Structure 1
């Protein structure tokens, strides 16, 4: 550990932080591969995860602090940042003594949180040993290890418990999964549905669009336990829902329904507690962004780039689709100049949308309104669809055009501009 870091934190405290993070991360990863039904254990898992990501955030700040002086003028111009309305803002101090105090306070806070959760972790680990392992297919295991499905530990456990719960009285239970655009609702449910135990629990898993809600009839329902997953892009007509639900009540006992959408009104159709997905906490989002941006590269070998990741996390405001899009672009070019150029283009894009529409691009997408992606592209939110774009039209991935700025020529005529395509089925956000 170099002297600059030691002067601020002390080698022993940093080493202690790393040891605690290793212990907590080990338990969180193990818990992610178990089927946890105890609600109190799920609450503790959520606390463990939050403390872990906060700890990694502080560790990153300590590791790369010595590079602030060289890059802060180009990376984090506070006068530029203040022009934007963004969900996340970090306090910046010019006085070195106050900066040292702030870092020491962050380190002490992270250590206290981690030590507190570790002190109460013994019982959790013992109980975890009694939880059944959730088997994954080899492909899913690869995706999991490579962080393609990130976080959502507790929500995933809640969905699994709902699906595998036996002897629920009455007609099929309905679980609403509600959240803003691009928070990963479909990806989360699709991932759970790929678990072997879930697949073997149901005879058939049906995926429906809310537009075709009334098309399902008694004659089309197969025998056995059925899981019906319905995604709504807009409001649900009460009469259509009654028609649909009266049909699914004829399904065999043990069948389940999951409904997905952005509209809070979906909650009224649920028979169990709604799972609400929000954007990731800043520390967790930054960890995800760093993992995606570096891929197989070691962030420790690129300290300036690792610091720029935090600036990306700030300006992107916790949105998953832009985060994946930018990570896809910068991962191909681990060059500080390129990363800074990309960061500046994002800031210009944000300022242009705020100036023209009065809202941050994230808010525009949440409202279903178009977003300007630079001077040449207009991103219009499309309604969710399980089908692929028209294959007769050429496709341009926006991340590729961003990564190869000046070298990518858009196709002539009409073409599909793909903002981002998930690497996890169903290959959407």
Structure 2
């Protein structure tokens, strides 16, 4: 028995550990000297080539659906490659010990305790997480460069992904793209498209524009030409349609382009003071029928956009579409909706919007949060920013509102406060719940959404609570962001004072 304990057991354990370490070395391997630089150079070369192809394709009026699908795949792959390159650079800076001007910033106990109480995990808020210790453990287990090996593997995977996209028929893709006419007004290439283009939706926009420019057969059923744009709430349906309608080709084709929100349609089909439907919503279909019969739409080719279309009885809609319409020949209808069943109301295949890939969304969010600043110069803030973007569910409005707030308060402690509020937040839309926690407002939330006139105060005014002004006794409205395409609205939140002294503000 003593022999077994003193000789056999240690020998067996030694053999087991030896096999484990051999397995780890064989599985993960060691990157050859210089392999990381080779992967980086190859990735940069691929990104340059693909970026030129994407720019060339987006500058032309492409109508072929297969080319547009491949363009979409190229765009997503390009952002994945850029993301891999940027994450690797940020890891290099942090592993080298460079923390920029936000070095040494730690979280407060109250913030970390609140996050823990919410039952959620946030690595950027864990002050006990030590990057240097993790790197040393990684080097002991895997050998070599630790996190640097992770970076090499990340770059190698990105290279393989992009090479698979360009390997087979890239030359044919370029030749086919060059056969399409160039756009008249090509937008300036930037990280963020703010005016004529909509970020991440180029292919979907081209599909809508192509539908609007097609001449439908006249004189036979169906007499309505309808396209449904389907997607979840806040995925960007209305914004996409606005940009498609603002295209110079579309504006030149239709004499009228008019928008109808759900309350507008219900009022036309029901009582003048009615804004919501009853039972199964017959007022909505009746409202659509009355709008289509208005004489002004018979005078010229019209484009009618129905936002957040309400589910309509399919048989009743088919009967309407089979009847001769008072609309001028060549008129079109666009429906935005969340219900996939409504897509059957269209006369062509619907345009379905999905949330942006996380790598692509990061560049949209980063443009608002960092502006022209380089995240590599602020690695700790960049780490918090990456986690914030992962929690925002790839919605455009969240990035616009919270990203703008972060850029106006470029401080690591404040960004950690915002992240902690996001992690705890269970309210939707998320930016409203976060602002309710951050803003020093002694009142209750009355409403949020669009308003027709510009609010007096900004988020930064309320956050700073600057001296020198006041707010009305009954409440006040805070400006979040502005929508200017087709509907000049200010997105805002309104607070109703509850008797407590409101914050002192200035404009």
Q: Which residue of 2 aligns with 1:416?
A: 477
- Superposition deviation, residue 56 in structure 1: 0.9
Aligned pair 1:347/2:433, yes or no?
no
Aligned residues: 395
Does the C-alpha gap of structure 1 residues 15 and 305 become closer, same or farther in structure 2, counting only changes over 3 Å?
A: farther
Map 1:102-141 onto structure 2 (within 5 A): 102-119=150-167, 120-136=169-185, 141=187
Relative contact order higher in (CA < 8 Å, ≥ 6 apart): 1
Aligned pair 1:203/2:249, yes or no?
no
- Structure 1 residues 81-114: Cα deviation after superposition (integer angstroms, max 9, x where no partner): 894389xxxxx99343464443332211110111
- Structure 1 residues 317-359: Cα deviation after superposition (integer angstroms, max 9, x where no partner): 32221211122122334x4xx24423323422541x33xxxxx
- Structure 1 residues 48-78: Cα deviation after superposition (integer angstroms, max 9, x where no partner): 0111011011011111113445579958x8x
Q: Which residue of 2 aligns with 1:176?
A: 228
1:389 to 448, 452, 458: 452
Q: Which moved more, 1:212-221 or 1:200-209?
A: 212-221
Q: Secondary structure at the match of 1:12?
A: helix
Q: Which residue of 2 aligns with 1:153?
A: 202
- Structure 1 residues 374-403: Cα deviation after superposition (integer angstroms, max 9, x where no partner): 3447767757x6xx4356xx44333x347x
Q: Which residue of 2 aligns with 1:272?
A: 348
Q: Which residue of 2 aligns with 1:294?
A: 370
Does the C-alpha gap of structure 1 residues 146 and 275 become closer, same or farther in structure 2, counting only changes over 3 Å?
A: same
- Structure 1 residues 355-377: Cα deviation after superposition (integer angstroms, max 9, x where no partner): xxxxxx4xx339xx974633447
Q: Which residue of 2 aligns with 1:84?
A: 120
Q: Which residue of 2 aligns with 1:47?
A: 73
Does the C-alpha gap of structure 1 residues 278 and 411 become closer, same or farther in structure 2, counting only changes over 3 Å?
A: farther
Q: Is the 8 A contact 1:225 1:254 kept in 2?
A: yes
The structure number with the bigger radius of gyration is 2
Normalised by the size of structure 1, how large is the TM-score?
0.78
Q: Is the 8 A contact 2:384 2:419 kept in 1?
A: no
Aligned pair 1:284/2:284, yes or no?
no
Q: Secondary structure at the match of 2:200?
A: coil
Q: Which moved more, 1:255-264 or 1:210-219?
A: 210-219
Q: Which residue of 2 aligns with 1:365?
A: 429
The runs of 5 or more residues in structure 2 that have no matched partner are 1-31, 123-129, 140-145, 266-286, 492-507
Does the C-alpha gap of structure 1 residues 33 and 240 become closer, same or farther in structure 2, counting only changes over 3 Å?
A: farther
Provide the rounded CA distance (Å) in 2 between the counterparts of 1:123 and 1:379.
57
Q: Is the 8 A contact 1:292 1:331 kept in 2?
A: yes
- Superposition deviation, residue 143 in structure 1: 9.4
Does the C-alpha gap of structure 1 residues 276 and 144 become closer, same or farther in structure 2, counting only changes over 3 Å?
A: farther
Q: Which residue of 2 aligns with 1:89?
A: none
Q: Which residue of 1 aligns with 2:400?
A: 324
Q: Which moved more, 1:38-47 or 1:372-381?
A: 372-381
Provide the rounded CA distance (Å) in 2 between the counterparts of 1:65 and 1:250.
63
Aligned pair 1:96/2:138, yes or no?
yes
Normalised by the size of structure 2, how large is the TM-score?
0.67
Does the C-alpha gap of structure 1 residues 22 and 379 become closer, same or farther in structure 2, counting only changes over 3 Å?
A: farther
Provide the rounded CA distance (Å) in 2 between the counterparts of 1:348 and 1:296.
26
Q: Which moved more, 1:171-180 or 1:301-310?
A: 301-310
Q: Which residue of 2 aligns with 1:358?
A: none
Does the C-alpha gap of structure 1 residues 279 and 287 become closer, same or farther in structure 2, counting only changes over 3 Å?
A: same
- Superposition deviation, residue 280 in structure 1: 0.9
Q: Is the 8 A contact 1:28 1:49 kept in 2?
A: yes
Q: Is the 8 A contact 1:349 1:374 kept in 2?
A: no
Map 1:49-68 onto structure 2 (within 5 A): 49-68=75-94
Provide the rounded CA distance (Å) in 2 between the counterparts of 1:80 and 1:350.
7
The runs of 5 or more residues in structure 1 that have no matched partner are 1-5, 87-91, 355-360
Provide the rounded CA distance (Å) in 2 between the counterparts of 1:255 and 1:419.
36
Indicate the RMSD between aligned Cα atoms, in angstroms.
3.8
Provide the rounded CA distance (Å) in 2 between the counterparts of 1:244 and 1:212.
19
- Superposition deviation, residue 303 in structure 1: 4.3
Q: Is the 8 A contact 1:218 1:247 kept in 2?
A: no
Does the C-alpha gap of structure 1 residues 313 and 272 become closer, same or farther in structure 2, counting only changes over 3 Å?
A: same
Q: Secondary structure at the match of 2:429?
A: helix
Q: Is the 8 A contact 1:8 1:103 kept in 2?
A: no
